[in-house]
Amino acid sequence: MADHLDLHTVGDLLHHYPRRYAERGELTRLSDLPLDEHVTVVAQVADARVHTFNGGRGRRLEVTITDGSGRLQLVFFGKGVHKPRSELQPGTRAMFAGKVSVFNRKRQLAHPEFKTLGAESGAEAVEAFAHQLLPLYPACKQMESWQIQQAIDTVLGPAGHEETALAGLVDPLPDSLREGRGLATLPEALRKIHRPATKTDIALARDRLKWDEAFVLQVALARRRRADAQLPAAPRKPVPDGLLTAFDARLPFTLTEGQRRVSEEIFADLATDHPMHRLLQGEVGSGKTMVALRAMLGVVDAGGQAAMLAPTEVLAQQHHRSITEMMGELAEGGMLGGAEQGTKVVLLTGSMGAAARRQALLDLVTGEAGIVIGTHALIEDKVQFHDLGLVVVDEQHRFGVEQRDALRSKGKQPPHLLVMTATPIPRTVAMTVFGDLETSVLDQLPSGRSPIASHVVPAKDKPHFLTRAWERVREEVAAGHQGYVVCPRIGDDAGDEGDASKGAASPSPEDEAEKRPPLAVVEVAEQLIKGPLSDLRVEVLHGRMQPEAKDDVMRRFAAGEVDVLVATTVIEVGVNVPNATAMVIMDADRFGVSQLHQLRGRVGRGSAAGLCLLVTDMPEASPARARLGAVAATLDGFELSRIDLEQRREGDVLGQAQSGVRSSLRVLAVIDDEEVIAAAREEAAAIVADDPELTGYPELRTALDALLDKEREEYLDKG
């Protein structure tokens, strides 16, 4: 039990809550049992027969059970036949648990665990028994649901005496808060969640336990924010008529209302004497880079340096190119022809030549370079800054906590931190995962951006749709535009860098399309060059190419010398070619929702409308097709991030995805419980402001220590 369900103590067991409840009188639906999952069902035996095989030496018991919605076959072999044969007579009602498999096209449970529900009791007892809510626990093969229930029953003791068993529990909620919000006590909540008499009991228990999870987490984040606010930082106020003023004067367009508002928030943070910690989230193409660049220029004006950390070399080079273009002679400080208030903008990546790298390091340590853009090469020990004032992290979710932390430690004092993401994050998740960052949102697109039409192309059901897709790409190129074709992997082996199938929700095993390897850049490019795009200039781009080759392809594509770029997800973030209007995503079902949205954001960046075609072999009724339909139906990233989270099942917010440890959330649903999270955040902030060390709240401290075991403490520390 300890290993498989991570239950090590009595406390773990008590906080292992039922996933749902079956009423004994109410038969669970057999008609929608999921394949390959462990299930517990309550059903009635309709039929039981013993078959012999192997010349009479082997015996097989087949039992058919029903619940009104469907029938299911159970099979038992060999010596395992005796007990079920005597106990599972027709008419017997029982709980059955096992893994659903398919045999001869029928679903079945092989050798399920079972427990009969005694129908021979008196009428009143049967009535009580039938309406009792049976807790069904998240279980595993080694530990079935009712075995967990028996263990919990042992801990709770006889009915009516639970309070005694639960008396020594540490209750994290301060009495005033609990009473003020009308919440149950912890012993009462645990008794009602494990032994509910009514559905109201369950609701009361869950309301209370949600508060525990939300509140303890928000206290941890509030203390983190407070600790950060105590750190010293050098205020960075731009000088009037400096680099920023000169830059704004040369902009060929006006900033959007959103860009102006967010810039003001950032400059207000930069002017204070403790470090800014701000999350800037905005749709693909909402102009985040412009906002970040203005913040960096403001810091340079104030005598400091700014570093931008990008997740890939392609992106670092792209940022460097677009920033130096936007700045013009302002990016040539100290050089002939450079503006007098200009600065140097340097690039630092792992694959640079030794001489260029030496010069970049020298420019940083002397302060000659005000702005540096780089990959994790920026983090190496050799890299020294003259006076690092601002760190901008692009695409936060691609960086390990340690990497961000290492860069922040390079300042004489903690530098200000701006984290950017184009993956829209619902407000509740921002409050939970990034709870120690203030959040700014850019939600309008700059003028000149065009709408993107998205369509699902069911290549297997309707092959002529795929033929038409290639015709559409040719039409876009004929009109003077360019296109992308995106594939899940590179080509020579399945486990390579572009393999989107790792991040996507895996389709069910019965889907035929899942049985072949994902389409690869190298093969698809070859087919297109020989076939439907034979007269176009087609090139490939993927992560295994040499950096010079990658940069050359990107430069020629940006210059319009390449018509169609066949690439992996290396183009997912930050690639900006306004003339590219068409994108075909092959095996689109192998990508996650957010990833598809990111990829689609690469087209429609100029004045011409964008087109995104999601090609899939998945059958019409599959969940994968539904997911693609959702992506095609909306361009609203916040709506899509909600769908994405619901599909990945909420709750794993501090879990593996973020910190490498098991999720602490069991009843709190990050998407649905926005009100609880917001209220808990307010209460937590008030308590921490009043008593930062929580000296008056020893139980809360204990709960906090339990939540913030070593790993999580470090994760929050570095967040």
pLDDT in tens, 487-510: 988 876 544 444 444 443 343 433
Distances (CA, A) of 174 to 212, 215, 622, 681, 696: 10, 10, 48, 15, 9
- Alpha-carbon distances, residue 92 vs 45, 119, 124, 170 (angstroms): 5, 8, 18, 43
Q: Is the confidence at residue 146, as pLDDT, over 80?
A: no
**Sequence-separated (6 or more) residues with CB below 8 Å from residue 187:** 162, 163, 166, 167, 169
Whether 218 and 681 have beta carbons less than 8 Å apart is answered as yes
Who wins on pLDDT, 395 or 133?
Answer: 133
Distance of CA 591 to the CA centre of its chain: 13
Tell me the torsion sign for CA atoms 584, 588, 593, 595: negative
Q: Can you state the percent helix, strand and coil of the chain, rounding each to 5?
A: 40, 20, 40
550 pLDDT more than 70? yes
- Which helix (H) or strand (E) segment is 73 a member of? strand 71-77
Q: Which residue has the higher pLDDT, 498 or 68?
A: 68
pLDDT at 171: 87
Q: How confident is the model at residue 164 (pLDDT cuts 50, 70, 90)?
A: confident
Q: Is the dihedral of CA 256, 261, 264, 270 positive or negative?
A: negative
Alpha carbon 68 to chain centroid, angstroms: 39
Cα separation, 506 vs 538, in Å, equals: 31
Are the CB atoms for 617 and 460 separated by under 8 Å? yes
- Please report which residue ranges of 19-116 form alpha helices under DSSP H: 82-87
282 close to 443: Cβ distance less than 8 angstroms = yes
pLDDT > 80? residue 320: yes
Upper half-sphere CA count for residue 560 (Cβ side, 13 Å): 7
Q: Residue 308 in contact with residue 392, Cβ under 8 Å?
A: yes
State the pLDDT at residue 331. Answer: 86
Our measurement of the distance from residue 715's CA atom to the centroid of its chain's CA atoms, rounded to an integer in Å, reads 16
Region 185-208: mean pLDDT is 91
Spatial distance between the Cα atoms of 431 and 149, rounded to a whole number of angstroms: 34
Confidence of residue 658 (pLDDT cuts 50, 70, 90): very low
User: At residue 461, what is the residue type?
Assistant: D
Q: 422 is written with which tokens?
A: 């184009």
Comparing 613 with 138, the larger pLDDT belongs to 613
64, amino acid identity: T
pLDDT in tens, 252-269: 888 888 899 999 999 999
**Structural contact between residues 632 and 643, judged by C-beta atoms closer than 8 angstroms:** no
Cβ 303 vs Cβ 386: under 8 Å = no
Q: Which of 41, 59, 17, 18 is nearest to 113 (CA)?
A: 41
Say which DSSP state 25 is in. Answer: T
The answer to whether 21 touches 203, Cβ cutoff 8 Å, is no
The CA distance from 211 to 424, in Å, is 26
Q: What value does the mean pLDDT take over residues 434-448?
A: 71
Residue corresponding to tokens 């994108």:
583
- Give the DSSP letter of residue 34: P
DSSP helix/strand/coil, 613: strand
Query: Nearest Cα to 575, choosing from 220, 194, 311?
Result: 311
Specify the 3-state DSSP secondary structure of 670. Answer: coil
Is pTM beyond 0.95? Reply is no
CA dihedral 408, 409, 412, 415 (to 10 degrees): 20
Tokens 């103590």, located at residue: 9
Q: Is the pLDDT of residue 26 over 60?
A: no
* pLDDT band at residue 654 using 50, 70 and 90 as cut-offs: very low
DSSP code at position 325? H
Report residue 636 as tokens.
């609203």
User: What is the average per-residue pLDDT within 561-587?
Assistant: 86
pLDDT tens across 30-51, in order?
Answer: 877 877 776 778 788 999 999 8
Q: Is the Cα torsion angle 507, 509, 511, 514 positive or negative in sign?
A: positive
Q: Give φ, ψ of 301 to 5 degrees.
A: -55, -35
